[in-house]
Amino acid sequence: MMLIGHRGLAGLAPENTLASLRAASAHGLAMVEFDVRLSRDGVPLVFHDDTLERTTDGTGPVAARDWAEIARLDAGSWFAPAFAGEKVPSLEQALGLCLDLGLAVNMEIKPDAGREIETADTALALALGSWPDGIAPPLVSSFAIPCLEAARRVAPHWPRALLLEGLPPDWRERARSLGVEALHLDHRTLEAEQVETVRAAGFSVRAYTVNDPVRARQLRDWGVTGVFSDFPHSS
């Protein structure tokens, strides 16, 4: 089972920063997940929340700031003084570092409401332009169906996964119509029978966010092929 660093490796370094990607690599992880959204001026950047407060020294919505403003913020001090001066990475910077480190990538597209297609189009175009032939392409995931539809249009041969909190009644139709290879499900409500049903329908299952190694082993035994973790010890 693949252990996928969540937001880089969010338990050991400030989430969604280059330091977090380096931490994942330093702890031997082969793959990382990070979140991608847009600045006001349409630059794809690596950031989880809608707003800046929790993980930077800025305030207000990310979508209300241009990239030049966001790039000046401190995205490390909130986590620990040792990370003071750590920046919000652009998607370009994050992908470049993952390539340098040999990390496989799961790009989660996290659009602001109303910018779903713009966010996916912009992120995928940039990633396509910077990803070399011959290296396994990023896995593209999203809770937002329009983002996955856009990803299929822009990068049809790149793998996609549908993020869900639980399994809605129409999950098969959604997954089939989007052409995804996997469902990424919240492990807290996940049960063995659901994993079996999803796998029997031809989709892989990955589970977020699993920080307990005992739970990770249980999920592996159920047939889950990857877990997202904030820590390196959940394999």
Q: Which is nearer to ligand G3P, 18 or 32 (CB)?
A: 32
Give the one residue of 35, 86, 116, 230 binding Mg ion; rule: CB under 5 A: 35
The amino acid sitting at 98 is C
- For the CB of residue 68, give the shortest distance to ligand G3P in the complex, in Å: 25
3-class DSSP state for residue 190?
A: coil
Query: Rounded distance, CA 31 to CA 20, Å?
Result: 12
> Rounded to the nearest whole angstrom, what is the least distance from the CB of residue 32 to ligand G3P in the complex?
11
| Contact flag: residue 141 with ligand G3P (CB under 6 A) | yes
Q: Which of residues 84-103 bind ligand G3P (CB under 6 A)?
A: none
State in angstroms the smallest separation of the CB of 15 from ligand G3P: 9
Single out the residue of 122, 92, 86, 106 nearest to residue 29, CA to CA: 106
Tell me: does residue 47 bind ligand G3P (CB under 6 A). Answer: no
Q: Which letter, b or e, does each residue of 170-197 get, where b requires 16 or more Cβ atoms within 10 Å of its Cβ?
A: ebeeebeebebebbbbebeebeeebbee
Q: How far is the C-alpha of 123 from the C-alpha of 120, rounded, in Å?
A: 5
The token pair at 3 is: 């252990």
**DSSP H or E segment with residue 5:** strand 2-6
- Residue identified by tokens 């993020």 is 163
172 binding partner (options ligand G3P, Mg ion, none; Cβ < 5 to 8 Å by kind): none
CA gap 166, 200 in Å, rounded: 17
Residue sitting closest to ligand G3P (CB): 208
Q: Is 108 in the site for ligand G3P (CB under 6 A)?
A: yes
- Interacting partner of 131 out of ligand G3P, Mg ion, none (Cβ under 5 to 8 A depending on kind): none
Q: Does 15 bind ligand G3P (CB under 6 A)?
A: no
Is residue 108 a contact point for Mg ion (CB under 5 A)? Answer: yes
Q: Which two tokens stand for residue 234?
A: 């959940």
Minimum CB distance to ligand G3P, residue 145 (Å): 15
Residues labelled catalytic: 6, 48
Contact partner at residue 187 from Mg ion, ligand G3P, none, CB < 5 to 8 Å by partner kind: none
Per the structure block, which two tokens stand in for 200?
A: 């029997």
Q: Which is nearer to ligand G3P, 69 or 186 (CB)?
A: 186
